[in-house]
Amino acid sequence: MHSMRVQEHESGGVTILALDGALLLDEGELVLRDSVDRLVAAGRPHIVLDLARVDRMDSAGIGMLVCKYLSALRKGGRLKLLHLRPRLLEMLTITRLAGVFEIFENEQDAIRSFGTAARPGAG
């Protein structure tokens, strides 16, 4: 078992967190919590989670996604999802959360979806 790793970069006032590992109880979900909490506390509540390298997720992982979505929302931001693998998309569909989250296949589309809410980038 390897722990969740997170790579972070920013574009146009939006922070992209690329997760690598499993979003499971006491593993990846705590890393996700800490990463999003740090961004929200720093006044950076516009967040895209790139899940291309997340291979497994359990109910704790789903619960943490919802919790952090609400954390960002309360601070005037949004948490959006990018590159969901078919199995993760299926889990969100079964739990009726696919309609709650904005889900994207392209990072630029995800960043643009924040519109004027995020600070405009220099590009």
pLDDT over 70 at 119, yes or no: no
Vertex 21, ends 45 and 8: CA angle to 5°?
Answer: 35
Q: Which domain holds residue 60?
A: 5-113
Structural domains of the chain, count: 1
What pLDDT is recorded for position 116? 63
Of the candidate ranges 3-7, 15-19, 101-105, the one whose mean pLDDT is the lowest: 3-7
- Does 44 fall in a domain? yes
- Does 23 fall in a domain? yes
CATH, residue 35:
3.30.750.24
Query: What's the whole-model pTM score?
Result: 0.91
Rounded Cα distance, 40 and 27, in Å:
21
**pLDDT tens per residue across span 28-69:** 888 999 999 999 999 999 999 999 999 899 999 999 999 999
What pLDDT is recorded for position 27? 73
- Does 15 fall in a domain? yes
